[in-house]
């Protein structure tokens, strides 16, 4: 797409924070009575200036269609009228998920690439999973609070040899035996974290492979940008 017009506005915040500190010095005679006092006031100031630009670009697509584009601050600050911009975008679509990402903006004329975000960083967060973990935590706390009652209830169903490794681990950690359910929950958490980390790395590799053709187009444009400079 080609930038044919540019509208930019800016917001500037200029704040000054002033603080003062007063020190009192007392002069006493040999009897310990205060004969005079001296006050010294020190004032310091700290200035903080923040600026933000916003606006939109009027662009012309390769098909000759003109349309407005709400560009991010990074692109507004670097793009000028007449520049050719290559936009690479992606989308993550799934059950309850439909999120778009602007992978890169490549200013062909200036040979500058801006990478604001990427789909490879997407992580699924399930409310159902959080609720299950929360319920397991409540269950573990309840089992710890009523440990003797729970053990008497399950002793006829679960052999002692099954829970003995858990009791042994709790003892090795110098934790009271009635906290064994919480120790078991902590072990489950560690196992889930390991599984989730493995799953995230695997998914990230698949997304990187899926975006390969998009970044191949970027590299091809970077290597053959001269024709655009003549337009």
* Residue 121 pLDDT: 66
Report the candidate in 150, 132, 152 with the shortest Cα–Cα distance to residue 142: 150
Q: What is the pLDDT of residues 64-87, one digit of tens each?
A: 788 887 777 777 777 788 888 888
The beta strand positions in the chain, using DSSP E, are 2-28, 34-60, 66-69, 85-94, 97-107, 112-114
Task: Please tell me what DSSP assigns to residue 61.
Answer: -
* Residue 168 pLDDT: 82
* Residue 230 pLDDT: 61
Report the candidate in 92, 87, 90, 60 with the shortest Cα–Cα distance to residue 74: 87
Give the H or E element holding residue 65: none
The pTM of this model reads 0.51
* Residue 94 pLDDT: 66
Question: Is pLDDT at 95 greater than 80 in this prediction?
Answer: no
* Residue 212 pLDDT: 79
* Residue 42 pLDDT: 85
Strands 85-94 and 66-69: unpaired
């Amino acid at each position: 797409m080609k930038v044919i017009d540019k509208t930019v506005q800016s917001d500037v915040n200029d704040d000054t924070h002033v603080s003062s500190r007063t020190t009192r010095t007392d002069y006493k005679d040999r009897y310990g009575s205060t004969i005079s006092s001296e006050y010294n006031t020190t004032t310091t100031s700290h200035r903080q200036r923040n600026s933000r630009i916003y606006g939109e670009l009027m662009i012309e697509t390769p098909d000759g269609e003109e349309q407005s584009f709400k560009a991010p601050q990074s692109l507004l600050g670097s793009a000028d009228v007449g520049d050719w911009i290559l936009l690479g975008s992606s989308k993550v679509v799934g059950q309850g998920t439909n999120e778009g990402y602007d992978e890169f903006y490549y200013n062909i004329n200036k040979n500058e690439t801006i990478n604001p975000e990427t789909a490879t960083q997407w992580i699924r967060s399930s409310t159902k999973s959080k609720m299950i973990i929360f319920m397991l935590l409540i269950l573990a706390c309840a089992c710890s609070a009523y440990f003797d009652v729970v053990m008497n209830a399950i002793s006829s169903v679960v052999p002692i040899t099954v829970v003995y490794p858990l009791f042994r681990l709790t003892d090795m950690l110098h934790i009271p035996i009635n906290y064994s359910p919480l120790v078991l929950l902590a072990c489950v958490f560690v196992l889930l974290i390991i599984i989730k980390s493995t799953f995230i790395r695997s998914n990230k590799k698949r997304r990187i492979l899926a975006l390969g053709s998009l970044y191949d187009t970027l590299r091809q444009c970077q290597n053959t940008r001269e024709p655009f400079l003549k337009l």
